[in-house]
């Protein structure tokens, strides 16, 4: 079976872009990715497109050209981008196609996501009572985690502080101003223990990845960035998820646990072999908990990792080198693909001021979302 390679990448900067629709930002990213790959739109045999709130991705053929290419829309919560990428690589692995596109974009209104109970198979009263608020879950999850594993609130602050510092060095990031730790700690609270700097905001942006067979990558003369694994998993029994009116007393693993475990198995490597990681950080505690859920450290070790700077760009395992969701914001359809974009940049050595030193060879990405979905990729140069 042929390895699948990422042969072109494109991004529309994240944040807020007045006058440009979500689809427009997706098209912008696709054109950039095609140019990066040295291809034209008619060369693309198929596409998978992810968007949560910005319309049907396949409508972009209006702008890209009516070539008749197969174009499948993916809507899968926060795992939408990961699901698009998973599906795209399968089409190439199967031998059916050799050049394809995974694209994701979104454009959300300001403020918290406005989820409705019916979309999650929940009773109406749950929304009436004020529980359709994602931040409540994230805050409850970290509060329990801090209690069990002795994590301080300052550790949360350190994650956010690093995010804005890394974001400053990433041209596609939204928040590009460093914020001092004490300002993060003392900012107004949104949902205890999180202050406003410790949550990401819904945002806008677009990302496109051109995938090709190994043979195609060689023909095009590209440094092959191999997609060694792409997994998407739903939740196991006993997990604690967004929008949960109840949780089992007997605790189980998470969707992240199994997506991660299976990705490492498929790639044939282990967490110690990863040189750079992008981990879902919709809030500061998520990055910290996901370090453990993805197998990079034990529960409770994060406090020490942060104090010693092990997740800094020059550290043992650089995490969220472009500032992650905290600095880039979260356009749901694009967010997971942004992580893969950033990993390709790092593996190519094109990271500029945020480049991980020592020519990283392996890169890991992870997203998590409602109602308990996770997607992981492992790239290798």
Partner 1 sequence: MKAIAEGLFTDEAAPRLIGGRNRETGRIVFPCPANDRFEPVPLSRTGTLWSYTIQRFRPKSPPYKGPEAFTPFPVAYVELPGETIVEARLTDVDFDAIEIGMPLEFAPIPLDPDAAESVLIPAFKPAGAAA
DSSP state of 108: P
Q: Is 108 in the site for partner 1 (CB under 8 A)?
A: no
Instruction: Report DSSP letters for 140-187, one per residue.
Output: HHHHHHHHHHT--HHHHHHHHHHHHHHHTT-TT-S--S---HHHHHHS
For partner 1, the closer CB: 18 or 250: 250
- Is residue 144 a contact point for partner 1 (CB under 8 A)? yes
Cα–Cα distance list, 315 to 134, 292, 320, 356, 369 (Å): 31, 17, 12, 9, 28
Q: Does 114 bind partner 1 (CB under 8 A)?
A: yes
Tokens 């460093």 locate to 178
Out of 221, 249, 272, 358, the residue judged to bind partner 1 by CB under 8 A: 249
150 binds partner 1 per the rule CB under 8 A: no
Residue 297: name the closest of 313, 279, 321 by CA: 279
- Looking at 15-23, 110-118, 296-304, 363-371, which segment touches partner 1 (CB under 8 A)? 110-118
The Cα–Cα gap between 377 and 262 comes to: 10
We find the least distance from the C-beta atom of residue 238 to partner 1, in angstroms, to be 10
Q: Quote the CA–CA distance of 33 and 17 in Å, as a whole number.
A: 20
Shortest separation between residue 188's beta carbon and partner 1, angstroms: 7
Tell me the sheet residues that pair with 15. 204
Q: Which residue in 61, 72, 187, 247 binds partner 1 (CB under 8 A)? A: 247
124 binding partner 1? (CB under 8 A): yes
Question: Is the Cβ of residue 22 or residue 127 nearer to partner 1 in the bound state?
Answer: 127
Which residue stretch of 3-11, 52-60, 81-89, 246-254 sits at the interface with partner 1 (rule: CB under 8 A)?
A: 246-254
Q: Is 353 in the site for partner 1 (CB under 8 A)?
A: no
Return the residues of window 187-216 that contact partner 1 according to CB under 8 A: 188-193
Residue from the set 62, 248, 308, 350 that interacts with partner 1 by CB under 8 A: 248
Euclidean distance between CA atoms 100 and 210, whole angstroms: 6
Per-residue b or e along 172-193, where b marks 16 or more CB atoms closer than 10 Å to that residue's CB: bbbbbeebeeeebbebeebbeb
Say how far apart CA 230 and CA 88 lie, in whole Å: 10
- How buried is 123 (Cβ within 10 angstroms: 0-12 exposed, 13-18 middle, 19+ buried)? exposed
Q: Per CB under 8 A, does 110 bind partner 1?
A: no
Q: Mark the segment that binds partner 1 (CB under 8 A) among 117-125, 211-219, 272-280, 285-293.
A: 117-125
Examine residue 117 and tell whether it contacts partner 1 (CB under 8 A): yes
Kindly state the number of chain residues that form the binding site for partner 1, as judged by CB under 8 A.
Answer: 35
CA 330 vs. chain centroid, Å, equals 9
Q: Nearest approach, Cβ of 129 to partner 1 (angstroms)?
A: 5
* Using rule CB under 8 A, residue 350 touches partner 1: no
Binding site for partner 1 (CB under 8 A): 111-112, 114, 116-117, 123-125, 127-133, 135-136, 139-141, 143-144, 147, 188-193, 244-249
């Amino acid at each position: 079976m042929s390895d699948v390679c990422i042969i072109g990448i494109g991004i529309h900067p994240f944040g807020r872009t007045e006058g440009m629709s979500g689809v427009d930002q997706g098209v912008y990213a696709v054109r950039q990715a095609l140019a990066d790959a040295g291809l034209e739109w008619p060369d693309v045999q198929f596409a998978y497109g992810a968007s949560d709130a910005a319309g049907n991705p396949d409508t972009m053929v209006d702008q890209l050209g009516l070539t008749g290419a197969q174009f499948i829309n993916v809507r899968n919560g926060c795992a939408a981008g990961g699901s698009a990428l998973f599906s795209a690589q399968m089409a190439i692995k199967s031998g059916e196609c050799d050049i394809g596109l995974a694209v994701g974009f979104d454009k959300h209104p300001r403020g918290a996501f406005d989820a409705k109970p019916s979309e999650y198979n929940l009773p109406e009263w749950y929304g009436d009572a004020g529980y359709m608020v994602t931040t409540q879950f994230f805050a409850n999850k970290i509060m329990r985690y801090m209690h069990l594993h002795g994590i301080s609130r300052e550790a949360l602050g350190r994650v956010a502080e690093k995010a804005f510092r890394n974001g400053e060095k990433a041209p596609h990031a939204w928040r590009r101003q460093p914020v001092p730790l004490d300002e993060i700690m003392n900012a107004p609270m949104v949902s205890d223990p999180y202050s406003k700097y410790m949550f990401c905001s819904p945002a806008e942006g677009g990302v496109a990845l051109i995938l090709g067979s190994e043979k195609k990558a060689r023909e095009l003369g590209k440094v092959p960035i191999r997609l060694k694994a792409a997994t998407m998993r739903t939740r196991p029994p006993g997990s604690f998820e967004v929008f949960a009116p109840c949780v089992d007393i007997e605790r189980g693993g998470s969707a992240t646990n199994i997506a991660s475990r299976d990705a490492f198995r498929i790639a044939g490597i282990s967490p110690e072999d990863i040189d750079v990681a992008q981990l879902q950080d919709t809030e500061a505690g998520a990055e910290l908990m996901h370090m453990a859920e993805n197998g990079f450290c034990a529960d409770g070790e994060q406090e020490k990792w942060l104090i010693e700077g092990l997740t800094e760009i020059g550290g043992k395992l650089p995490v969220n080198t472009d500032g992650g969701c905290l600095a880039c914001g979260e356009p749901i359809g694009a967010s997971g693909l942004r992580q893969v974009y950033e990993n390709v940049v790092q593996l190519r050595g094109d990271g500029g001021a945020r480049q991980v030193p020592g020519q990283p060879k392996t890169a890991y990405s992870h997203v998590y979302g409602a109602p308990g979905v996770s997607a992981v990729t492992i790239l290798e140069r």
